[in-house]
Amino acid sequence: MPLSAARAERPSSLRDYAYRQLRDAIVSGELAPGERLRDPELEAWLGVSRTPIREAIARLETAGLVHTRRAKQTVVAPLDTRSALAAQRIAAALHELAVRDAVPQLTSADLDAMRAANSRFAAALDAADVDAAVAADDEFHAVAVRASENPLLPALLEQVTPLLRRLERARFASLAGRGSVADHERIIELCASGHADAAGAAARENWSTLGRLLHLDDDEPSAVPQATASRHPSPTQQGAPWHSPTSPATA
The tens digit of pLDDT for each residue in 86-100 reads 999 999 999 999 999
Please provide residue 80's backbone torsions phi and psi, each rounded to the nearest 5 degrees: -140, 110
Please say whether the dihedral angle defined by the alpha carbons of residues 68, 55, 154 and 17, taken in this order, is positive or negative.
negative
Rounded Cα–Cα distance for residues 207 and 25 (Å): 23
- The whole-number average pLDDT for the span 190-214 is 86
Sign of CA dihedral 146, 200, 114, 173: positive
Amino acid at site 36: R
Question: Could you tell me the CA-to-CA distances from 179 to 1, 81, 125, 166 in Å, in that order?
Answer: 33, 20, 7, 17
Q: Is the pLDDT of residue 108 over 70?
A: yes
Domain 14-76 in CATH 1.10.10.10? The answer is yes
The top-scoring range by mean pLDDT among 85-94, 107-116, 164-173, 206-215 is 107-116
Domain boundaries of the chain, sorted by first residue: 14-76, 81-213
In the predicted structure, residue 12 carries a pLDDT above the cut 80: no
- Does the structural domain 81-213 have CATH classification 1.10.3720.10? no
From CA 248, how far away is CA 231, in angstroms rounded? 7
Three-class secondary structure of residue 37 per DSSP: strand
Model confidence at 186, pLDDT cuts 50, 70, 90, reads: very high
Distance CA 36, CA 102 (A): 41
CB of 21 closer than 8 Å to CB of 10: no
